Amino acid sequence: MTRLSAVQTTTSPAELLESGSDNGAAAHGALSPLAVRMHGEYREMPGLRLTVRQAARLLSVAVDVADAVLHELRRASILARTDDGVFFIDR
C-alpha cells in the first residue's frame, strides 16, 4: 500500500516544476514542500548521490514527481546532475 501526503495528492508534477525559481536563487520559501524535504535529506547525508528512481523510493512518490523535485532543486542551484543522471549537492 502506498501512502500519499497532502502535497502528493494535490500537487501535480507540472505544478512542482512551476514552483521553482527561474533565476536560480530560490530561498526555501520559494521551494515546494517536497523540494525542501529533499534538500534536507541531502544536507543530512553528505555525499548523497541519487538517481530519480532512488529519490522516488526515498520520498515514497511517483518517479515523475521525484523528477520534478530534483529538477526544481537543480534550477535553484542546490543540486547538480551528472551526465548519467545522478543528482548531488552542488558546492
Give, to the nearest 10 degrees, the angle between helix 52-59 and helix 33-44.
100
Q: Is 77 within the bounds of a domain? A: yes
* Residue 60 domain-assigned (yes or no): yes
Structural domain contains residue 40: no
Q: Count structural domains, the chain.
A: 1
5 lies in some domain: no
Q: Is the pLDDT of residue 34 over 50?
A: yes
* 64: in domain: yes
In a domain, 66, yes or no: yes
Is there a contact between 80 and 74 (Cβ–Cβ < 8 Å)?
yes
- Inside any domain, residue 72: yes
Q: Which domain holds residue 16?
A: 10-22+48-91
Segment among 27-31, 78-82, 84-88 with least mean pLDDT: 27-31
Tell me if the pTM is above 0.85.
no
Assess if residue 82 is contained within a domain. Answer: yes
Summarize pLDDT for 40-53 with one digit per residue, the tens. 999 999 999 999 99
